[in-house]
Amino acid sequence: MKILLFGKQGQLGWELHRSLQGLGQVLAYDYPEIDFTVPSSLRRLVEDTRPQIVINAAAYTEVDKSESEAERAKLTNAEAPALLAEISRGLGAAFIHFSTDYVFDGKKGIPYTETDAPQPLNVYGQTKLEGERAVLQLDGNNLIFRTAWVYSMRRDSFVSKVLSWADSQHEMRIVEDQVSNPTWARALAEITAQILAKAGPDPLRWLAERRGLYHLAGWGFTSRLEWAKAILQNNSNQACQVVQRVFPARSAEFPTSAARPLFSALDCGKFERTFAVRLPDWELALSLAMETG
C-alpha cells in the first residue's frame, strides 16, 4: 500500500508518520516543501506519486490569526482538501481528512453527532466546514474525521502552556465554560493506522464501504479547567511547579480575535460502532502521554 501523508511535522502528522510505518510505503510532506496555497504543485506531487491512500493532516490551525488571514485559511483548509479529494478520486485512491469541533456553535449542551447542523463561530471553523463539504460533495472514497482539542508532547499545545504557566505563576485562572474532548495526537494517529490495518486485502473497497463523516476524539469530555488540573496532577516535574491555586474563569474574561464555541464535545459513537474500535478515555490518554512524552 502506498500512502501519501501531508502535514508530517504537525502534532497529528508527526504521529501518523510513525504509526503508519508497517502498513506500506509512506511518503510524507509538509510546509514549506509543499504549500497548500499553491494548488499546481500539490496536483503534480499527488499525480506523480500515484498513492492508494492520501492522508491530510495539514491545516492552517491558527484560530485567532485566521480572522485576519482568511484567504490563507480558506486556501489551506477548504480549497486544498477539495483538490486532494478530486485528485484522489481521479486516481482511484482513498482520501482521509481531518476536521474540527469548531464547525459547531457550542450551544447544543450535549455532545454533537454527525447529523447535527454545523454553525461555525469563527473563520477557522468556517473554512474547515467548507473543506468538509467540498470533499463530501465530490462523493469519492473519502473519510472525514472531525476531532477536537488535539495535543502532543512535542509541539506547543494547551498541555505545554499549562505546564509552563505552572512553572512561572503562583495562581492560574483557567476557563471552565469551554468544554470538549481532549485528544492525544498519538492516540488519534494510532486509531487511524489501526483502521487501515483492519482493512484487509482490499483496503480501498473496505474503506469505500465505510466512507463519510465521523467524530473521532478522546473518549469523554471535560472543561479546560478540569483538563488543566489533570495536567498538573500528571506532571512528573512537580518540583518545578510554583503554582499554588487554580481558579475558574469565564471565556468572556479573555477576549480573543476569534470567538470559540463553549460546548463543542463530540459524540464518537458512530466511529466506534462502524470500525469496532474502542477510543481511549481522555484522562487515561493524558496520563500515558505525560508519562511517555
Ligand X SMILES: NC(=O)c1ccc[n+]([C@@H]2O[C@H](COP(=O)([O-])OP(=O)(O)OC[C@H]3O[C@@H](n4cnc5c(N)ncnc54)[C@H](OP(=O)(O)O)[C@@H]3O)[C@@H](O)[C@H]2O)c1
Q: How far is the CB of 102 from ligand X (least distance, A)?
A: 7
Element housing 224 (H / E):
helix 224-234
Select the residue whose beta carbon is closest to ligand X and give its number: 10
Stretch that binds ligand X, among 6-14, 46-54, 200-208, 219-227 (CB under 6 A): 6-14
Distance (Å, whole) CA 109 – CA 100:
17
Closest CA to 240 of 291, 165, 152: 165
Verify cis geometry, omega within 30 degrees of 0, for the bond prior to 120.
no
Stretch that binds ligand X, among 35-43, 229-237, 247-255, 266-274 (CB under 6 A): 35-43
Between residues 74 and 128, which has the closer beta carbon with respect to ligand X? 128
Residues numbered 187 to 206 that lie near ligand X (CB under 6 A) are: none
Question: Annotated catalytic, 124?
Answer: yes
* Binds ligand X by CB under 6 A, chosen from 36, 112, 165, 263: 36
Q: Which three cell numbers stand for residue 293?
A: 512524552
Q: Confirm if 152 and 186 have CB atoms less than 8 A apart.
A: yes
Q: How far is the CB of 251 from ligand X (least distance, A)?
A: 16
Distance (Å, whole) CA 22 – CA 175:
41
Q: How far is the CB of 64 from ligand X (least distance, A)?
A: 13
* Binds ligand X by CB under 6 A, chosen from 11, 19, 122, 126: 11
Closest CA to 111 of 158, 148, 61: 148
Between residues 101 and 130, which has the closer beta carbon with respect to ligand X? 101
Residues numbered 46 to 105 that lie near ligand X (CB under 6 A) are: 57-61, 76, 98, 100-101
Q: How far is the CB of 260 from ligand X (least distance, A)?
A: 11
* Binds ligand X by CB under 6 A, chosen from 3, 7, 54, 79: 7
Give the torsion through C-alpha atoms of 234, 236, 239, 244, to 10 deg.
Answer: -10
Helix axes 39-49, 80-91, angle to 10 degrees: 30
Instruction: Tell whether residue 182 is a contact of ligand X (CB under 6 A).
Output: no
* Binds ligand X by CB under 6 A, chosen from 149, 184, 221, 282: 149
Distance (Å, whole) CA 23 – CA 12:
17
Between residues 135 and 243, which has the closer beta carbon with respect to ligand X? 135
Pairing of β 222-223 and β 179-180: antiparallel
Between residues 47 and 209, which has the closer beta carbon with respect to ligand X? 47
Give the SS3 label for residue 179. strand
* Catalytic-labelled residue, pool 60, 124, 151, 214: 124
Centroid of chain to Cα 102: 11
Closest CA to 147 of 57, 275, 252, 21: 57
- Where on the chain is the footprint of ligand X (CB under 6 A)? 7, 9-13, 30-31, 34-37, 57-61, 76, 98, 100-101, 128, 147-150, 155, 185
What positions carry a catalytic annotation?
124
